[in-house]
Amino acid sequence: MRVALVHDWLTGLRGGERCLEAMCELFPEADLFTLLHTTRDLPSVITQRRIVTSFLQRLPAVGRYYRYLLPLFPLAAESLDLRGYDLVLSSSHAVARGVITDPRACHIAYVHTPMRYVWEAGADYFGPERLGRAARAAALLVQSYLRLWETSTASRPDFLIANSRNVALRIWKRYRRHAEVIHPPVDIDRFQILPEVGAHFAVVSALVPYKRIDLAIDVANRLGFPLEIVGAGHEQSRLARCAGPTVRFHGYVAEDTVPRIVGSARALLFPGEDDFGIAPVEAMAAGRPVIALARGGALETVVPIDHEDRAATGVLFDDPSVASLTGAIRCFEACERRFEPAAIRAHALGFRAELFRARLFTHIETCLATHRAMLHDRFSGPSLRVDALSARS
């Protein structure tokens, strides 16, 4: 069986690339297709294979400005030549799920979210506080075009997988399609319970608008607690101008630095609505509580302190506002001793990477069998040639 993996772009190592890494482990001989590849800071299981890029790759220094090429992304995805592949497995938060495959190919799309910057988070990226009038008008045209492309191509994948119930709801709302829910992999073993906890709170996040890191900084400035921020992004200079003396930016750090900063924090702050949110699970793997906005994936991973049946793993707050986050931190301080690191880590074990691989592999087998039967029943011709998949952990 010829297998192709498709990923939006390879420009850094974030949650989407962690999912891609697990897919590469399941299919070590698969070819990888992507719009562009600008970094080598990726696991070898990704880079040591045939990687095919789109025409965007040939643009000079494209890694510096590729975000501004957003209107070209659908064309770039459709230009990828996937002829001859029996199984196409895409990992998409933008356009990868919209690739064009062979008529007999089985296309399974793992969707991190429908394009957030043209739907629910559009104002965070293109609002009046970020763009001038002319730029906003152009952005509205681009958003309208991309919404039309998303909805018109929603039927291209044969099967959809959502990374959370939160995203499955978005998929139903935008595409009117059912999606199986398989939570993404988290490298639990990177994190351990540390013997000492410091005085700081931590944030681990890409510095982009919808993550609402500005909210965490504002509250840290007002309450005067130490805040350690790990991550980088195009919002960093703006956030740095807002930060007070107790806020420290680490940028991108070595893999072994994140467990130390998170594992020694009083709690992880997660102030934005995320599709799933790997950082809270990583913090819980280190036995640390999470203070999170009660929206999105956090509702599926964080057990709030007032839960009656299970050991609490954090505090949830209702609104993305200074007052609401301040109240959650005060609540956390009042009941900080009630959090049990061992119980918090035990909860995180339910999201470990090997469970993701097993669930994904089993679902792929089911999809392939369904696809073969559909082709046979509807077209009464030779069924799709699919060799039996050999089990891999």
CATH number at residue 101: 3.40.50
User: pTM of the predicted model, to two decimals?
Assistant: 0.88
pLDDT at 39: 87
Question: Quick check: is 391 in a domain?
Answer: no
pLDDT at 120: 76
How many domains is the chain built from? 2
Q: What is the mean pLDDT of residues 341-354?
A: 96
Question: Quick check: is 384 in a domain?
Answer: no
**Tokens representing 19?**
């999912």
Residue 271 has pLDDT above 70, yes or no: yes
Question: Quick check: is 110 in a domain?
Answer: yes
Is 179 in the same domain as 201? Answer: no
Is 107 in the same domain as 68? Answer: yes
Question: Quick check: is 48 in a domain?
Answer: yes
Is 173 in the same domain as 301? Answer: no
What CA–CA distance (Å, rounded) separates 335 from 323?
19
Is 136 in the same domain as 60? Answer: yes
What CA–CA distance (Å, rounded) separates 314 from 201?
13
- The percentage of residues in the chain with a pLDDT greater than 70, rounded to a whole number, is 93
Asked if 371 and 106 touch (Cβ cutoff 8 Å), the reply is yes
Rounded alpha-carbon distances, angstroms, from residue 25 to 30, 82, 267, 302, 359: 10, 21, 32, 28, 14
Question: Quick check: is 365 in a domain?
Answer: yes
Is 67 in the same domain as 115? Answer: yes
What CA–CA distance (Å, rounded) separates 284 from 313?
7
Is 160 in the same domain as 299? Answer: no
Is 119 in the same domain as 103? Answer: yes
Q: Which residue from 378, 338, 361 is spatially nearest to 87, judged by alpha carbons?
A: 361
Question: Quick check: is 65 in a domain?
Answer: yes
pLDDT band at 334 (very low <50, low <70, confident <90, very high): very high
pLDDT band at 307 (very low <50, low <70, confident <90, very high): low
3 state DSSP class of 81:
coil
pLDDT tens, 81-98? 999 999 999 999 999 999
CATH label of the domain that carries residue 301: 3.40.50.2000
Question: Quick check: is 389 in a domain?
Answer: no
Domain region containing 310: 189-350
Asked if 22 and 4 touch (Cβ cutoff 8 Å), the reply is no
Is 324 in the same domain as 214? Answer: yes
Is 148 in the same domain as 201? Answer: no
Strands 314-317 and 290-293: parallel
Residue 15 has pLDDT above 90, yes or no: no
Question: Quick check: is 208 in a domain?
Answer: yes
Partners of 122 in beta bridges: none
Is 181 in the same domain as 194? Answer: no
What CA–CA distance (Å, rounded) separates 188 from 284?
9
Is 370 in the same domain as 292? Answer: no
Is 162 in the same domain as 256? Answer: no
pLDDT tens, 212-242? 999 999 999 999 999 999 998 889 999 999 9
More confident residue, 390 or 366: 366
How confident is the prediction for the chain on average, in pLDDT?
A: 92
End-to-end CA distance of the chain: 18
